[in-house]
Chains A and B, each alone.
Chain A
Amino acid sequence: MNPTWVIAKRELNEYFDTLVAYILLIAFLGLTGFFTWLIGADIFIRKQVDLMVFFEVAQLTLLLFIPAITMRQFAEEKRTGTIELLLTKNVTNRQVVIGKFLSCILMICIALAFTIPYYISVTQLGNIDHGATTAGYVGLILMSCAYISIGLFASSTTNNQIVAFLISLFLCLLFHFLFDMIASGFTGMLGEFFSMLSISGHFDSISRGVVDSKDLIYFASIIILGLFLAEYNISKR
């Protein structure tokens, strides 16, 4: 079997063994379900057949949960020394990083798969824009990939899980809100530059149903940069 996949499978199993996966699933589905169907500007109040509320809440929930699932990846292995055992096996640093990335994104995909019943329920209520909804899911997955690679980079910088969590939470907040806020303070080139860095802007443009190459390049470059830096950090020892 491909070592990347062996690592991904082990990490994914570990989420389920240590209950992290169950807590994450329950909290994610609880929060998104609650706001989509029961309270605030839910579907019945807005009287629109779409999953806009769900996408809004899912973005914020993932913003919190992704640092929590990525913080362990390298920090814990460094603290216990298992990284030494792992890297002296027949794998390259890159395979280790990509394996861990895959396990995290699979975890998020499992959580998102459980929300498909929301989609099915909403289609029963009226005519839903299938394209926009699919694009919304694609946007969520791309955003998750970006945050996971940021989280893996943060985890590779330290051997303390809490420090890793705080670094990745800060970086995710920066990309999600702060760049937007900074952008509104500037005009012209600088403002455009900061709003271009903001993840939520790119997410919105994808979730409108248009998958632009500009957005794809943006997400791809964050993912590649994050994973590259994580790989660099673990190769330096």
Chain B
Amino acid sequence: MLYFLVVPLNYIFAPKPKKPHLELNPHSLPEAILLIIMDIKIQNLTKTYGAQKAVDDISFEVKTGEILGFLGPNGAGKTTTMKVITGYIEGDNGNVTIGGNSVNNSATKGYIGYLPEHNPLYLEMPVIDYLGFCASIQGMEKSLVPGRIREMVKVCGLNAEKHKKIGELSKGYRQRVGLAQAMIHDPEVLILDEPTTGLDPNQIVEIRELIKNIGQEKTVILSTHILPEVEATCDRILIINKGKIVADGTAATLRKQAQGKQVLHVRIEDADVNTVFGKLQNLPTVALVDILDAPMNRFEIQSTQDTFSNREIFDLCVKNKWALTELIPFETRLEDIFRDLTLN
């Protein structure tokens, strides 16, 4: 019954023929040219809620093909920044552009895929219908929609649940639906606010791989509380605290900045603890020696600034005919860097 009433209206609201984004013939061009450059540029963004400054004059840039991990304690301004980038709220000051266009014009919104913080979904809708709705509202061509839905269902592991209503799904499956809707129109920019919450470990690994693959050609920003996740997925880390950027760089550069000195854990056998301690302390590159475990002959050694003492320790053991059974370069954990930067 409904069908007959709906069909005539379809003619009234018949879609206008859409111009393709690229008017070049894709088959005659090398792949590099097809990569659409969609850099995100944020300049002096400030946003206040009442008396509280959520975001305080931050500027950064994300390049196409880069995955940016957005870290920060609760209330640091991560979600606010992401909302501004998606055009949902406007900053008080500053400028946010995607591919050179302001995020406030609706054409730019079509290039963004967004997974908000609490993953809001229409609970009464079946998964497939919901994905279809998202695809067509993003202006996807009608003939392409079913194929794209099938692809997203497969990629996000929703096959068994695709006919259920979203309200009947568990949290993890809802999260997958949230990811699927964000990626359904193959956006150039993906903004993911805590994408892996509620997923099981296997799914987390799959989603990370998926994000990494997408990140090769697209611009991705993801926020998370899980620090190993940032290391596993992101090319670059941005730590934000009280609305200000406190660190920006790769995991390796952040470590180097935070640590400065090399730390080694060694175990030297066939010798007296105190003799070894004395000789280690006398090495020129060693700044500090600490006995970790006396009966087991284990030490922590900190080198002086910008030097490495591995070789000297090895030479020392050879000279004295000691057995060097452990030598572990000890890295500062990302957790420690994070605590250092955000707890002052």
Binding site for B on A (CB under 8 A): 1-7, 9-10, 12-14, 16-18, 80-82, 84-85, 87-92, 106, 109-110, 113, 237
Residue interface mask B118-142, A partner, CB < 8 A = 1: 1011111100010001101111001
Question: Are B137 and A7 in contact, with the CB atoms below 8 A?
Answer: yes
Q: Which residues of B contact A87 (CB under 8 A)?
A: 88
Given A9-B6, A106-B9; A91-B106 close (CB under 8 Å): yes
Question: Are A89 and B122 in contact, with the CB atoms below 8 A?
Answer: no
Question: Are A88 and B5 in contact, with the CB atoms below 8 A?
Answer: no
Question: Are B106 and A88 in contact, with the CB atoms below 8 A?
Answer: no
Query: Which residue on chain A has the smallest CB distance to residue B89?
Result: A237
CA distance A140 to B304 in the complex (A): 87
CB distance from B85 to the nearest CB of A (A): 10
Binding site for A on B (CB under 8 A): 2, 5-6, 9-10, 13-16, 83, 86-89, 106-107, 109-110, 112, 114, 116, 118, 120-125, 129, 133-134, 136-139, 142, 181, 185
Q: Which residues of A contact B124 (CB under 8 A)?
A: 14, 17-18
Given A14-B122, A81-B116; A5-B89 close (CB under 8 Å): no
Q: Which residues of B contact A1 (CB under 8 A)?
A: 13, 15, 136, 142
Question: Are B13 and A82 in contact, with the CB atoms below 8 A?
Answer: no
Residue of A6, A16, A82, A113 near B137 (CB, 8 A) is A6
Q: Which residues of A contact B133 (CB under 8 A)?
A: 6, 10
Question: Are A84 and B15 in contact, with the CB atoms below 8 A?
Answer: no
Q: Which residues of B contact A237 (CB under 8 A)?
A: 88-89
Residue of B122, B137, B181 near A91 (CB, 8 A) is B137
CB distance from A161 to the nearest CB of B (A): 14
CA distance A110 to B133 in the complex (A): 22
Question: Are A113 and B5 in contact, with the CB atoms below 8 A?
Answer: yes
CB distance from B139 to the nearest CB of A (A): 5
Q: Which residues of B contact A106 (CB under 8 A)?
A: 5, 9
Q: Which residues of B contact A2 (CB under 8 A)?
A: 13-16
Q: Which residues of A contact B122 (CB under 8 A)?
A: 10, 14, 82
CB distance from B13 to the nearest CB of A (A): 4
Question: Are A88 and B137 in contact, with the CB atoms below 8 A?
Answer: no
CA distance A97 to B227 in the complex (A): 41
Q: Which residues of B contact A18 (CB under 8 A)?
A: 124
Question: Are B2 and A5 in contact, with the CB atoms below 8 A?
Answer: no
Query: Which residue on chain A has the smallest CB distance to residue B191?
Result: A88
Q: Which residues of B contact A5 (CB under 8 A)?
A: 9-10, 13
Question: Are B6 and A90 in contact, with the CB atoms below 8 A?
Answer: no
Q: Which residues of A contact B118 (CB under 8 A)?
A: 81
CB distance from A103 to the nearest CB of B (A): 11
Question: Are A84 and B136 in contact, with the CB atoms below 8 A?
Answer: no
CB distance from B331 to the nearest CB of A (A): 39
Question: Are A88 and B13 in contact, with the CB atoms below 8 A?
Answer: no
CB distance from A28 to the nearest CB of B (A): 16
Question: Are B5 and A3 in contact, with the CB atoms below 8 A?
Answer: no
Q: Which residues of B contact A88 (CB under 8 A)?
A: 86-88, 109, 112, 114, 116
A and B contact pairs by CB, cutoff 8 A, 21 listed: A1-B15, A1-B136, A3-B136, A3-B137, A3-B139, A17-B125, A81-B120, A84-B83, A84-B120, A85-B120, A85-B181, A87-B88, A88-B87, A88-B88, A88-B112, A89-B110, A89-B137, A91-B106, A106-B5, A110-B2, A113-B5
**Which 6 residue pairs spanning A and B have beta carbons closest together?**
A81-B120, A90-B110, A5-B13, A82-B120, A88-B86, A6-B137
CA distance A2 to B12 in the complex (A): 10
Residue of A6, A12, A85 near B136 (CB, 8 A) is A6
Q: Which residues of A contact B138 (CB under 8 A)?
A: 89-90
CA distance A3 to B88 in the complex (A): 18
Q: Which residues of A contact B6 (CB under 8 A)?
A: 9, 12
Query: Which residue on chain A has the smallest CB distance to residue B13?
Result: A5
CA distance A5 to B13 in the complex (A): 7
CB distance from B208 to the nearest CB of A (A): 23
CA distance A80 to B119 in the complex (A): 9
CA distance A109 to B10 in the complex (A): 16
Given A82-B122, A91-B137, 10 more contacts at CB 8 Å? A3-B137, A7-B137, A80-B123, A85-B121, A88-B86, A88-B87, A90-B109, A90-B139, A92-B106, A237-B89
CB distance from A88 to the nearest CB of B (A): 4
Indicate the member of B10, B133, B134 with the most A CB atoms within 10 Å.
B133
Question: Are A16 and B2 in contact, with the CB atoms below 8 A?
Answer: yes
CB distance from A8 to the nearest CB of B (A): 8
Q: Which residues of B contact A81 (CB under 8 A)?
A: 116, 118, 120
CB distance from B100 to the nearest CB of A (A): 18
CA distance A106 to B125 in the complex (A): 20
CA distance A89 to B133 in the complex (A): 11
